[in-house]
């Protein structure tokens, strides 16, 4: 395929798809497609509620249009799939969005078309799951009538420094010629350059291990936090001391949520187990990180008891529910687990987060955010280090001198905090 003749459709206009559509839309005819009609209506007006793009950035892509109508993408010849790949309640890969997108594309696929997947999957998923669906829905033959590529997304929600174009892009294709085409296509918009992987499986695996590695490293620090809590020393103090050596990896303890680090290791583990290997390190790291919510809630309760507070009916304020600072993304937020655990103890818990969409939080977790802080509290839990939280007078939120402050992020001034994670 000639790169100068591409007509691109980006399937999914979320945190990954929209920035991609904007960059491609500056150079090529590009259509941002999403089944959510309300989302498309907002984007047509230049409104992005994920805060990944400004109105000016959206409108700077003069060849970009948006639609929720499948008929509008039939004229395209390159389809880039950026739909979510979550896990279900049993921590098993939920490929239903990926299957649905593949079936939809198969029904409009034409000879000569290329389908590129960016959604995070396990090694081999594109060829084992997506390609058969494309073939069945289209009655076309893979690598004869149509082709595939895989280029894992590397976007970090809320990061305004390391953006799509400044992060090196891994590319791959189903044939050597298509691999070259996919690499050339992405090279035209990625200023940081590209890396052409040896195969689609290699590209898929590279994405899976990126986040699995981070998950394991954070789980080690979280386990240290559990140990040091029993020892009676501050984990942050220990890390500051150890970090004076040049080769010490400066990870911090915390709740591991979001769409990548808390999910992708399960995809890798799923594939390993399907081949008869039970991954020890990856799953042990997941267990540690998944249990941190219980630790945080129980630590909060112990601090209240030690301060002489009655737990039943106590008032607790949680600052933040998004999975990371300075962005509205609430996917897989572990703070919701902390909230529910504290409620189990009989505490009255409020959550304040100016970044999060109250409607989405209520739909996803059944939690009603407070729109402003009006009361005083027995306990205050700083869960997310949003920039504006530094302007809150924490002392003014305390009910009395026995009220405690627990800082999970090492964000607040040390002298006003009773304990840090």
Tens-digit pLDDT profile for the chain (421 aa)?
A: 788 899 999 999 999 999 999 999 999 999 999 999 999 999 999 999 888 899 999 999 999 999 999 999 999 999 999 999 999 989 999 999 999 999 999 999 999 999 999 999 999 999 999 999 999 999 999 999 999 999 999 887 777 778 899 999 999 999 999 999 999 999 999 999 999 999 999 999 999 999 999 999 999 999 999 999 999 999 999 999 999 999 999 899 999 988 888 899 999 999 999 999 999 999 999 999 999 999 999 999 999 999 999 999 999 999 999 998 998 999 999 999 999 999 999 999 999 999 999 999 999 999 999 999 999 999 999 999 999 999 999 999 999 999 999 999 999 999 999 999 9
The torsion defined by the Cα of 219, 225, 231 and 233, in degrees rounded to 10, comes to 150
Predicted local distance difference test score (pLDDT) of residue 192: 95
Predicted local distance difference test score (pLDDT) of residue 1: 74
Provide the strand spans (E) within 40-193: 64-67, 78-81, 114-117, 147-150, 169-171
- What does pTM read for this prediction? 0.92
Q: Give the three-state DSSP class for 178.
A: helix
Q: What is the DSSP string of 58-81?
A: HHH-TTEEEES-GGGGTT-SEEEE
Phi, psi for 239 (deg, rounded to 5): -65, -35
Q: What does DSSP assign to residue 4?
A: G
Predicted local distance difference test score (pLDDT) of residue 288: 96
Whether 3-207 shares its CATH topology with 233-420 is answered yes
Q: What does DSSP assign to residue 5?
A: G
Which residues contact residue 213 at a Cβ distance below 8 angstroms, ignoring those fewer than 6 apart? none
Predicted local distance difference test score (pLDDT) of residue 153: 93
Predicted local distance difference test score (pLDDT) of residue 354: 95
- Compute the radius of gyration of the chain from its Cα atoms: 23
Which CATH code, of 3.40.50.720, 1.10.3080.10, 2.120.10.30, 3.30.830.10, is assigned to 233-420?
Answer: 3.40.50.720
Angle (CA) 92 325 397, round 5°: 115
Predicted local distance difference test score (pLDDT) of residue 3: 86
Closest-CA residue to 200 (of 266, 263, 145, 125): 125
Distance in angstroms (rounded) separating the CA atoms of residues 334 and 290 = 8
Structure tokens at 95: 């490929």
**CB–CB of 264/120 below 8 Å?**
yes
The domain ranges of the chain are: 3-207, 233-420
Structure tokens at 335: 């703070």
Q: Which of 76, 130, 260, 327 is catalytic?
A: 260
130 noted as active-site residue: no
Q: What is the DSSP string of 344-412?
A: HTT-EEEEE-SSS-HHHHHHHH-----SS--S-BSEEEE-S--GGGGGS-GGGGBSSTT-EEEESSS-S
Q: How many residues does the chain have?
A: 421
Which CATH code, of 3.50.50.60, 3.40.50.720, 3.40.50.2300, 3.10.20.30, is assigned to 3-207?
Answer: 3.40.50.720
């Amino acid at each position: 395929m000639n790169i100068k003749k591409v007509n691109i459709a980006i399937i999914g206009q979320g945190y990954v798809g929209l920035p991609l559509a904007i960059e491609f839309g500056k150079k090529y005819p590009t259509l941002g497609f999403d089944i959510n009609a309300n989302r498309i209506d907002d984007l047509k007006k230049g409104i992005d509620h994920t805060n990944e793009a400004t109105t000016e950035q959206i409108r700077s892509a003069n060849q970009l249009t948006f639609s929720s109508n499948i008929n509008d993408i039939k004229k395209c010849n390159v389809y880039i799939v950026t739909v979510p790949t979550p896990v279900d309640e049993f921590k098993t890969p939920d490929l239903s969005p990926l299957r649905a997108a593949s079936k939809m594309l198969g029904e409009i696929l034409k000879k000569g078309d290329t389908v590129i997947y960016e959604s995070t999957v396990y090694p081999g998923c594109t060829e084992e799951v997506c390609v058969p669906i494309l073939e069945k829905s289209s009655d076309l033959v893979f690598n004869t009538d149509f082709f595939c590529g895989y280029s894992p997304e590397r976007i970090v929600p809320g990061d305004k420094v390391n953006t799509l174009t400044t992060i090196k892009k891994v590319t791959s294709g189903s044939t050597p010629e298509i691999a070259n085409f996919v690499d050339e296509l992405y090279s035209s918009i990625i200023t940081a350059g590209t890396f052409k992987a040896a195969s689609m499986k290699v590209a898929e695996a590279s994405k899976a291990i990126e986040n699995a590695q981070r998950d394991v490293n954070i789980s080690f620090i979280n386990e240290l936090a559990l140990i040091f809590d029993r020892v009676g020393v501050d984990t942050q103090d220990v890390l500051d001391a150890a970090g004076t050596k040049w080769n010490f990896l400066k990870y911090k303890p915390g709740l591991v949520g979001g769409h990548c680090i808390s999910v992708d290791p399960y995809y890798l583990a799923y594939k390993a187990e399907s081949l008869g290997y039970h991954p020890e390190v990856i799953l042990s790291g997941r267990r540690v990180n998944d249990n941190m919510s219980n630790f945080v809630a129980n630590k909060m309760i112990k601090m209240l008891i030690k301060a002489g507070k009655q737990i039943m009916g106590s008032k607790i304020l949680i600052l933040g529910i998004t999975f990371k600072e300075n962005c509205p993304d609430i996917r897989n937020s572990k703070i919701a687990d902390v909230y529910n655990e504290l409620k189990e103890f009989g505490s009255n818990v409020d959550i304040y987060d100016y970044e999060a969409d109250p409607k989405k939080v209520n739909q996803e977790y059944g939690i009603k955010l407070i729109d402003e802080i009006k009361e005083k509290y027995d306990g205050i839990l700083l869960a997310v280090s949003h920039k504006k939280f530094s302007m809150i007078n924490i002392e003014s939120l305390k009910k009395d001198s026995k009220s405690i402050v627990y800082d999970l992020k090492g964000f607040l001034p040390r002298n006003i905090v009773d304990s840090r994670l």
